[in-house]
């Protein structure tokens, strides 16, 4: 099998699936896309043309695909968060391996049921935690793995979600209302960061978690008195508000294009007039930022206790001026700290010799890669290897390696809903 490309069917033809599927265009010897399942016929036809398969292999949904004889090695599942479980199960039962977008479940109960299906059918399932595959985080993991900074005492991760990203995804967009999307913001946005925390401390498992957070900024009572309901329709602040849809989207139409302009994606080259008409017809991204139906938190803090006695904290802060992920790991022999967007980290080691009492090394990765800092292609390549050989790399996010992070997030949100009370973490159902 190692001499032939892994064949895969796309389920959910949105942005993330296409990012992974496009690996087949640059590496046809490794991956071949042979079909798609998506209720959007235009997306199906576009994929058939893009990857060169017959329209006969365009399916309306995952259920229809599951009723067809098995036609590939694997599935690339990029459906919406709340659809992951329902679309994954029938295809896993059909015998497919799967690259499954995070979060792979939206509740502890879904996770338990999915895990039982995978154990029964012995599928190879990898979760799209792309940060593990970036040069930045992988290099830090290799340093930690080597014992260079000793045993981890504490790990701190921070994610600053920019005002632009927060407003687009978590206030006006797909992940704004938990009743609809079925995910919390911590699960949708920061499960990557919690996964990194778990990965750095492997094989140590967390034993308890507590969390606090709230929806503080974007509430109706915080809207300026003169604010309208729709930015480009009835708001006098359209040219001055930092969250104006005109300023964020019409003035910068290429930003978040696959989110904001999804209703006109069938137009090959949309014009400014097309976009203005989209807003005039009720595009949800034109709503006043303070008067949406969002009900997820805009900031949250998490505290994790591990079996060794180590502790970890994660702070997710929405509405920052710029996006930024920060990590700081303190061990018994030294520490590592850095900023993901800088592609640079510092290793400081205890050394009584120098006057300052420590030595310091700056690691500059000089990386300028597309797609989550180069993680997207590296993840897809690793998935191909995993399907072919069954071997797991240091970064491999096989589902059994992703359970700790997901369970911690589920219970962190349970703690937040109960005023920050400590919640024990039990892995007995996953052994």
User: What was the pLDDT predicted at 263?
Assistant: 86
pLDDT tens string 114-149: 999 999 999 999 999 999 999 999 999 999 999 999
**What is the DSSP annotation of 263-310?**
GGTTSSS--HHHHHHHHHTT-GGGB-TTSS---S-SEEEEEEEETTS-
Residue 370 has pLDDT above 60, yes or no: no
Domain boundary among 248, 264, 286: 286
What is the reported pLDDT for 246?
96
Bond from prior residue into 203 cis (ω within 30 degrees of 0): yes
Query: String of b and e for 319-354 (b: at least 16 CB within 10 Å)?
Result: bbeeebbbbbbbbeebbbebebeebebebbbeeeee
What's the pTM?
0.93
Let me know whether 406 and 329 are in one domain.
yes
Percent of the chain with pLDDT over 70: 98
What does the alpha-carbon distance between residue 303 and residue 176 come to, in Å, rounded to a whole number? 24
CATH of the domain at 52: 3.40.50.720
Cβ neighbourhood burial of 80 (10 Å; 0-12, 13-18, 19+): middle
Q: What is the CATH number of the domain that holds 409?
A: 3.30.360.10
Asked if 194 and 405 count as a contact pair (C-beta separation under 8 A), the reply is yes
Question: Are 319 and 201 found together in one domain?
Answer: yes
User: Does residue 21 lie in a domain region?
Assistant: yes
What DSSP designation does 171 have? I
Domain count, the chain: 3
Q: Are 209 and 342 within one domain?
A: yes
List, in sequence order, every residue forming a beta bridge with 358; answer none if it has no partner.
350
**Residue 27 binned pLDDT confidence (cut-offs 50, 70, 90):** very high
Q: Is residue 305 part of a domain?
A: yes
Domain span at 150: 131-218+294-371+397-430
Residue with tokens 């964020």: 248
Same domain, 332 and 205: yes
Q: What is the pLDDT of residues 307-340, one digit of tens each?
A: 999 999 999 999 999 999 999 999 999 999 999 9
At residue 256 the predicted structure's pLDDT band, cuts being 50, 70 and 90, is: confident
**Same domain as 210, residue 179:** yes
- Same domain, yes or no: 299 and 197: yes
- Find the mean pLDDT for residues 81-91: 96
Q: Which residues of 305-318 are buried (b: 16+ CB within 10 A; e: fewer)?
A: bbeeebbbebbbbb
Question: Closest by alpha carbon to 317, among 301, 340, 338?
Answer: 301
Residues across the chain:
431
What is the structure's pLDDT at 258? Answer: 82
Q: Are 320 and 163 within 8 A, CB to CB?
A: yes
Shared domain check, 168 and 26 = no
């Amino acid at each position: 099998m190692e001499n032939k490309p892994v064949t895969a069917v796309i389920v959910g033809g949105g942005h993330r699936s296409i990012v992974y599927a496009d690996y087949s265009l640059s590496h046809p010897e490794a991956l071949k896309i042979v079909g798609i399942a998506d209720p959007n016929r235009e997306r199906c036809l576009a994929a058939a043309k893009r990857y060169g398969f017959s329209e006969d292999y365009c399916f309306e949904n995952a259920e229809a695909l599951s009723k067809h004889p098995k036609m590939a090695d694997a599935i690339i599942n990029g459906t919406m968060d709340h659809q992951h479980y329902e679309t994954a199960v029938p295809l896993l039962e059909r015998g497919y391996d799967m690259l499954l977008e995070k979060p792979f479940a939206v509740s502890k109960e879904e996770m338990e049921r999915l895990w039982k299906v995978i154990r029964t059918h012995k599928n190879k399932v990898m979760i799209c935690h792309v940060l593990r595959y970036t040069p930045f985080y992988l290099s830090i993991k290799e340093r930690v793995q080597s014992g260079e900074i000793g045993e981890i005492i504490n790990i701190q991760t921070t994610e600053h979600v920019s005002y632009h990203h927060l407003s687009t995804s978590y206030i006006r967009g797909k992940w704004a209302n938990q009743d609809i999307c079925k995910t919390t913001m911590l699960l949708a946005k920061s499960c990557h960061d919690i996964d990194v925390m778990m990965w750095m401390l492997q094989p140590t498992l967390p034993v308890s978690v507590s969390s606090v957070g709230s929806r503080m900024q974007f509430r109706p009572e915080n809207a300026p008195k003169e604010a309208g309901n729709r930015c480009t329709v009835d708001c006098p602040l359209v040219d001055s508000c930092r969250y104006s849809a005109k300023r964020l989207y019409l003035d910068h139409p290429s930003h978040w294009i696959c989110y904001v302009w999804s209703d006109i994606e069938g137009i090959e080259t949309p014009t400014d007039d097309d976009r203005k008409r989209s807003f005039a017809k009720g595009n949800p991204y034109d709503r006043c930022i303070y008067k949406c139906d969002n009900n997820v938190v805009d900031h949250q803090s998490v505290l994790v206790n591990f079996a060794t006695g180590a502790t970890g904290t994660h702070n997710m802060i929405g509405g920052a001026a710029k996006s930024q992920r920060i990590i700081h790991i303190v061990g018994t022999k030294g520490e590592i700290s850095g900023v993901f967007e800088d592609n640079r980290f510092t290793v400081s080691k205890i050394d009584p010799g120098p006057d300052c009492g420590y030595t310091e090394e700056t690691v500059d990765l000089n990386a300028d890669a597309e797609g989550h800092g180069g993680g997207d292609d590296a993840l897809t390549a690793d998935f191909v290897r995993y399907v072919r050989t069954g071997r797991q790399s240091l970064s491999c996010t096989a589902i059994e390696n992703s359970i700790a992070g997901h369970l911690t997030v589920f219970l962190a949100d349970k703690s937040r809903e109960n005023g920050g009370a400590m919640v024990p973490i039990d892995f007995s159902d996953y052994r």
